[in-house]
Chains A and B, each alone.
Chain A
Amino acid sequence: AQTVTQSQPEMSVQEAETVTLSCTYDTSENNYYLFWYKQPPSRQMILVIRQEAYKQQNATENRFSVNFQKAAKSFSLKISDSQLGDTAMYFCAYNRYSGGGADGLTFGKGTHLIIQP
């Protein structure tokens, strides 16, 4: 079974700083997808960024980027120029490649990120 581990329960940084959230996973699959989701106090799950395992290039979405190390099974999220609105729970998630659809996501326990003014 796949597992996702987030070892940082909480992190706090000053506004405008750069912060990196860690995630490791375990799988025997070769093709899969990795995600970072944001859950603000409203509890709505918001997709931040997605990485396909077969792509060597790290995904980037504006201020958000990932460092995907497939051999090490590591998938960290870097937030540049952090903003107060980035304060939220961040979940790392895994989905195996099923070819014709999608399976249930496997989530880590989350990291509570606090951006201080």
Chain B
Amino acid sequence: NAGVMQNPRHLVRRRGQEARLRCSPMKGHSHVYWYRQLPEEGLKFMVYLQKENIIDESGMPKERFSAEFPKEGPSILRIQQVVRGDSAAYFCASSTAGSQGYNEQFFGPGTRLTVL
């Protein structure tokens, strides 16, 4: 059973370009979470999605950032008009659907975004 997949692993963009980060959850998982890790920092929650629904986007910057998790295909984190401050590692995690108790989040290997 493959784990959480993220691609690309490394992405280089120039200021003003768009960045698209992809996340394929583990098989059987319908919940996806995106986190950002700035240098020398812990992970910061960005957004929580279920298929075709954004459940919690309280950690998303108000501008330039968007996320989706379509019925078919991977979840996409999109950053428009990137700036140098967007340079970070972006992690995706996935979990099973809700039930009583805790649904463990399994993390992907991350995408390292560098903005030149």
Interface positions of A (Cβ within 8 A of B): 4, 33, 42-47, 50, 52, 91, 95, 97-110
CB distance from B109 to the nearest CB of A (A): 5
User: Is the CB–CB distance between B102 and A95 below 8 Å?
Assistant: yes
CA of A33 to CA of B59, assembled, Å: 20
CB distance from A26 to the nearest CB of B (A): 15
User: Is the CB–CB distance between B43 and A105 below 8 Å?
Assistant: yes
CA of A105 to CA of B44, assembled, Å: 8
6 interchain pairs, CB-CB under 8 A:
A33-B102, A43-B112, A45-B43, A100-B100, A104-B33, A106-B45
Assess A105 versus B105: contact at CB under 8 Å? Given A43-B110, A45-B91, A110-B42: yes
B44 cross-chain contacts in A, Cβ below 8 A: 107
Q: Which B64-116 residues have a C-beta within 8 angstroms of A?
A: 89, 91, 93, 95, 97-100, 102-105, 107, 109-110, 112
A-B pairs under 8 A by CB, number: 70
**On chain B, which size bracket covers the interface?**
20 to 34
A4 cross-chain contacts in B, Cβ below 8 A: 42
User: Is the CB–CB distance between A101 and B97 below 8 Å?
Assistant: yes
CA of A97 to CA of B101, assembled, Å: 8
Interface positions of B (Cβ within 8 A of A): 31, 33, 35, 40-48, 56, 58-59, 89, 91, 93, 95, 97-100, 102-105, 107, 109-110, 112
User: Is the CB–CB distance between A107 and B42 below 8 Å?
Assistant: yes
Of A43, A103, A104, which one neighbours B35 at CB under 8 angstroms? A104
CA of A99 to CA of B98, assembled, Å: 8
User: Is the CB–CB distance between A99 and B35 below 8 Å?
Assistant: no
Closest 7 A/B residue pairs (Cβ): A104-B45, A101-B98, A100-B98, A107-B42, A45-B107, A107-B43, A102-B103
B95 cross-chain contacts in A, Cβ below 8 A: 101-102
| Smallest Cβ-Cβ distance to B3: which chain A residue | A44
CA of A57 to CA of B100, assembled, Å: 20
CB distance from B86 to the nearest CB of A (A): 17
CB distance from A59 to the nearest CB of B (A): 12
